[in-house]
Structure 1
Amino acid sequence: MSKVLYIKANIKLEGVSRTFQVSDHFIEEYKKQHPEDEVVVLDLYKENIDFLRPEDLEAMADINDETKKNTTFLKYAFQFAEADKYVIAAPMWNLGSPAILKAYFDYITITGITFHYTAEGPKGLLQNKKAVHIVARGGEYGNAPYEMGDRYVKTILGFLGVSDIQTIAIENLDIIGADVEAKVKEGKEKAGLVAKEF
């Protein structure tokens, strides 16, 4: 049995968020194909993820303190490390991802939990795991040099040791005359196919 961590990073609600329309469909199809797996939903806005504070830096220095594992932001790092698969649903905002997703990655990128330092430099501890990033974009940014959302997600996950990363992008949603419903439907179809093999 695998544990899937479904990370949602959009202030818009289900049904309104085009990213969530596709990512929720992905999860539905995944559950059909993998009924024995556990899916844990983590909505970053409902969790009130914040920016790191001085006391958080102190907690980072003592990750072996059992009292801090469930009472501080460190619980998110341990939760992330314990998962086998990651589904990250985050739209493109201003060429990147919502700031709350970056704040979340600051929470989970912790020495001794998700990566460590060796004589050769930093090395990710999350080997043999896989991820899919689902993103809705207003225009076509897939290969643009200024696309920094998906690029960052893949880079930070790679830093943590996750090498099997796919992207499901729904693009050109805000172009004048775009058939948004058709594009979302196309995104769902792709999500369904990826979910079967994920």
Structure 2
Amino acid sequence: MATILYVTANVKAEAASRSLLLGSEFLEEYLRLNPRDEVQVLDVYRDSIQRVDQDVLNAWTRVERGEDHALLSDEERHKINRIWRMADQFLRCDKYVFVTHSLNLWLPAEFKMYVDATCVLDRTYRLTPSGSEGMLRGLPRKSLHLHAATAYSLAGERDQSVAYLRSVLNVLGVAHQETVLLKGDDPETGSWEEYETVRSKLLGLARTF
């Protein structure tokens, strides 16, 4: 039995998003094949993600200096506990599915806030004499990133979303990563042939994920 963390980053309703529709189909097929697995769903727009603000930075600094957690202010303790819970959830899960879309050559700000709440020193990665080391390194963790890129060229510039998430997962130690790309997120303007091609690929991945 495995635990999947299913993370979406799209403000649209599911019916208005090709990536959300495809992600839902993948998850449905996966659960049909693996009915005993548990899914934890996180929508970074719906679920409140704690931002790394001044209170969080102050709390981290004080805790790293060895100060007792109980001596933090109520606000600092509340915020840092929320971030720790998110990092701990990530650490506990066995598989990760990310359903995202491009926004100005990158991921939405809410998703970056989620990454910041997940990459936490001494919770999901540690520092060693040779550099950082992900707490998941050596563990059989898997990820799937379904990403809807911009359907048109932006002055020839390259979208950074997929490369960024891949780098973050490498830092944390997620060794087995799959990426599936979609051109555009709008069901009304996107290619139906491409949709079916991506759908077929995702349903195939559901059997081996």
Do they superpose with TM above 0.5?
Answer: yes
Letter in 2 for 1:195: A
Q: Specify every segment of 5 or more residues in structure 2 that has no aligned partner in the other structure, as ranges.
A: 71-76
* Residues in 2 aligned to 1:65 and 1:197: alpha-carbon distance in whole angstroms: 43
Q: Which residue pairs with 1:38 in the alignment?
A: 38
Letter in 2 for 1:125: M
Answering whether residue 193 of structure 2 is matched by residue 185 of structure 1, we say no
Letter in 2 for 1:12: K
Letter in 1 for 2:118: I
Structure whose residues are more often helix by fraction = 2
SS, match of residue 192 in structure 2 = helix
SS, match of residue 103 in structure 2 = coil
Q: Which residue pairs with 1:132 in the alignment?
A: 144
Answering whether residue 136 of structure 2 is matched by residue 94 of structure 1, we say no
Q: Specify every segment of 5 or more residues in structure 1 that has no aligned partner in the other structure, as ranges.
A: none
Letter in 1 for 2:123: I
Deviation string for 1:159-196 (max 9, x for gaps)? 1111111101112667xx96533322222111111111
In the TM superposition, residue 65 of structure 1 has moved relative to its aligned partner by 5.0
* Aligned positions, number: 194
User: Any conservation in 2 of the 1:2–1:84 contact (CA below 8 Å)?
Assistant: yes
Aligned-residue CA RMSD in angstroms? 2.6
Letter in 1 for 2:104: N
User: Any conservation in 2 of the 1:6–1:87 contact (CA below 8 Å)?
Assistant: yes
Letter in 2 for 1:192: L
Deviation string for 1:69-91 (max 9, x for gaps)? 99422211110111110000001
Q: Which residue pairs with 2:53 in the alignment?
A: 53
In the TM superposition, residue 110 of structure 1 has moved relative to its aligned partner by 0.4
In the TM superposition, residue 14 of structure 1 has moved relative to its aligned partner by 1.1
Change beyond 3 A, Cα 1:189–1:109: same
Once superposed, which parts of structure 1, at least 4 consecutive aligned residues long, lie more than 3 Å away?
58-71
In the TM superposition, residue 23 of structure 1 has moved relative to its aligned partner by 0.8
Letter in 2 for 1:76: M
Q: Which residue pairs with 2:169 in the alignment?
A: 157
SS, match of residue 86 in structure 1 = strand
TM-score (norm 1): 0.87
TM-score (norm 2): 0.83
